[in-house]
Amino acid sequence: MTTQTTPAPTTKQDNLFGICAALGEDIGIDPLWLRIGFAVALLFNLEVVLVTYFGLGVVVLASRLLAPKPKAAVTMPLAADPVVAEEPLRCAA
């Protein structure tokens, strides 16, 4: 039996500078909603949206440099999967 995993909704190729992804991660929302908001706002005022986007980029960069995330511990994979017995072995007494 094989398990299929769905790909992550956003990958590195989807990001322009990663600003919406970083903000979404910090705030706890899907970055797609931020991207939609910026796209709609672009229709009304290009200059303000671009200045806001790059201003938020500076804020994200500063927050990542001043308070970096702790790196996750690296775990080594096992050489082989352990075999688990279905029933425990019992001694004949």
In tens, the pLDDT along 59-82 reads 999 988 898 777 766 676 665 555
Per-residue pLDDT tens over the stretch 22-61: 899 888 999 999 999 999 999 999 999 999 999 999 999 9
Rounded to two decimals, the pTM is 0.58
For residue 30, what pLDDT is reported?
92
SS3 16: coil
H or E stretch at 42: helix 31-42
Instruction: State phi, psi for 14 to the nearest 5 degrees.
Output: -80, -15
Q: How far apart are CA 36 and CA 38, in angstroms?
A: 5
Q: pLDDT band for position 17 (50/70/90)?
A: confident
Q: Is 20 in contact with 35 (CB distance < 8 Å)?
A: yes
Rounded to the nearest 5°, which phi and psi values hold at 51? -65, -40
